[in-house]
Amino acid sequence: MSHQNVETVSRAAERIKLGLAVLVIVAGIVAYSVFVDQPGYVRVGAFVAGLILAAVIVWFSDTGRRTLAFSRESYNETRRVVWPTRQETTRMTAIVFAFVLAMGALLWIADKLLGWVIYGLLLGWN
């Protein structure tokens, strides 16, 4: 995986494209609300059309291309991961559960001991 620096959108054209994409999504939401008297497929179609148009606008922006490149690199990195076997996963899950139970018991004992010391010995509130 390449180590790219995080870059913010600095060019005016990129900002305009991303702003236009946001406006198209908002327009799709508004269209969904305005077409309240229309059938459901018309309302959903207007919203989905807004999402698709916004995706196309972002696709042709530099930010969209960088996001797509990052997604490809992430997918390739995920394919190289050595996943644990079922036996290893089961064993580690059992270890985690045992640790949680042991810590729960330890904290319960500490709570009861401190309660007994504070309320029983120091304050005498038995």
Residue 6 included in any domain: no
CA-to-CA distance for 72 and 80, rounded, in angstroms? 13
Amino acid 124: pLDDT: 80
Q: How many domains, the chain?
A: 2
Amino acid 76: pLDDT: 94
Question: Residue 57 sits in which domain range?
Answer: 12-79
Q: Which amino acid is at 45?
A: G
Amino acid 4: pLDDT: 63
State which of 55, 79, 103 marks the end of a domain.
Answer: 79
Residues 17 and 63 in one domain: yes
Amino acid 9: pLDDT: 55
Regions in the chain scoring below 50 on pLDDT = none
